[in-house]
Amino acid sequence: MTAISEAEKAAALEHVKQAEAAVWTIPDVPADTALRPIAKATIVGAGTMGGGIAMSFANAGIPVKLVDLDQASLERGLGRIRGNYANTVAKGKLTQEAMDQRMALLSPTTDIEAVADADIVIEAVFERMDIKLDIFRKLDRLAKPGAILATNTSMLDINTIAAETGRPQDVVGTHFFSPANVMRLLEIVRGDKTEKDVLATTLSVARRIGKIPVVVGVCDGFVGNRMIEPYFREAEFLVAEGASPADVDRALTDFGLAMGPFAMSDMAGVDVRWDVAKRRAGLRPAGERYSWLVGYLGEAGRFGQKTGAGFYRYEAGNRTPIPDPAVDAFIAQEAERQGVKRRAVSAEEIVNRCMYALVNEGADILEEGIVARSSDIDVIYVAGYGFPASRGGPMYWADQVGLKKVNADIQKLAQDFGGHWKPSPLLARLAAEGRSFADFRRE
């Protein structure tokens, strides 16, 4: 694992600074695009995400209605918001007067017709397409003309949701990150018919509520979650081949990440990844290598911190991951059953394979035009996924390694481990031309 000098850190931090400044510019949206007025917001769904989004608006002084059709859920959500503010007051980071002012901006209701006077409506219900489509049919009927209709989804197709309305031009994705009142990143998902003034206005709203927005296109998982899947997959392959979950997490936190993939999975909920794995199982090409570890944990009810056990185990009231011999024993047993010869795995191999998995998928995303520039991917990973700013983001990191080396290493991985390691066509082309991701501009 290569250490970085102070000069390299400074250059990486400057790159991140410039990349964050660039996200506010959308190549085909003029800077002087007229904005839609946003004075009132409504959030549909009072769960953890909906409550956090509502707090973001209240923190910015924007009146916000919080809608949930279930009174008990609404009260729980409001209690969670009040508790979050009270904790901040207790820490001396917010005055009681400021808390009272923010709470006064929140109007809880079980009446969906409350969306009628909102300038922007953000749906933040459970991540299921049928539920979201039902909500958007109601929003289409009730929201005033010109209101922005946003969906907080981490991977569902925005175009399918927009098509359920008679105003697809007003529909946009707003993928907040949890906790939404704390995390800076916001993926703004542009549908095929999203109007330019909707994008410009949503960017303006993001600025008002203190977010760093990145405009992305429609694909499964958008940018952050689409890239994280091969990263998780490679981490699990490394575990099958001989590393432990703690080995992998340690190597990547030593590299600079805020959290390793297994601790991250436990925090977010292993059940979330299990649901994705089940949804995609039928799409997997025959014979393609896949990880069986998430399925084992899911079947065992080991959903992570929420159940006290996932890749690690947890003691009551303590979120510190503790290596679990039961998981290690299962991995060894299943590897033997599947004929995987286990071996010592170095920290350098762990870092390279996990980083290359991110970079290779990022190259496909860049070539597909899902983002405007490679630095947008870097912003997403630094602001939303704990990638070290001192290394500039995954695409910047790859440029510093050199794309010829990255491409050659991935070709070697393809020889050693199979076709899922095929280099991205864009990566191969840029490497052959002696260019970098930063040089690339999609025609």
Q: Report long-range pairs for 17-24 (Cβ below 8 Å, ≥24 apart).
A: 18/375, 19/375, 19/376, 19/378, 19/379, 19/393, 19/396, 20/212, 20/379, 20/383, 22/373, 22/375, 22/376, 23/212, 23/213, 23/214, 23/215, 23/376, 23/379, 24/203, 24/207, 24/213
As annotated, the active-site residues are 175
Cα–chain-centroid distance for residue 344? 32
Amino acid at 247: D
Token pair of 253 as six digits: 């936190």
CB 28, CB 196: distance < 8 Å: yes
CB 211, CB 185: distance < 8 Å: yes
CB 352, CB 405: distance < 8 Å: no
Among 161, 155, 154, 119, which Cα is nearest to 138's?
161
Q: Which residues contact 254 (CB under 8 A, 6 or more apart)?
A: 1, 347
Among 290, 289, 287, which Cα is nearest to 273's?
290
Q: Helices 261-268 and 245-255, interaxial angle, to 10°?
A: 100
Token pair of 366 as six digits: 């860049």
Locus of tokens 């649901």: 275
- C-alpha distance from residue 102 to each of 304, 329, 381, 438 (Å): 33, 50, 30, 42
Cβ neighbour number for residue 169 with a 10 Å cutoff: 16
Q: Which residues contact 409 (CB under 8 A, 6 or more apart)?
A: 352, 356
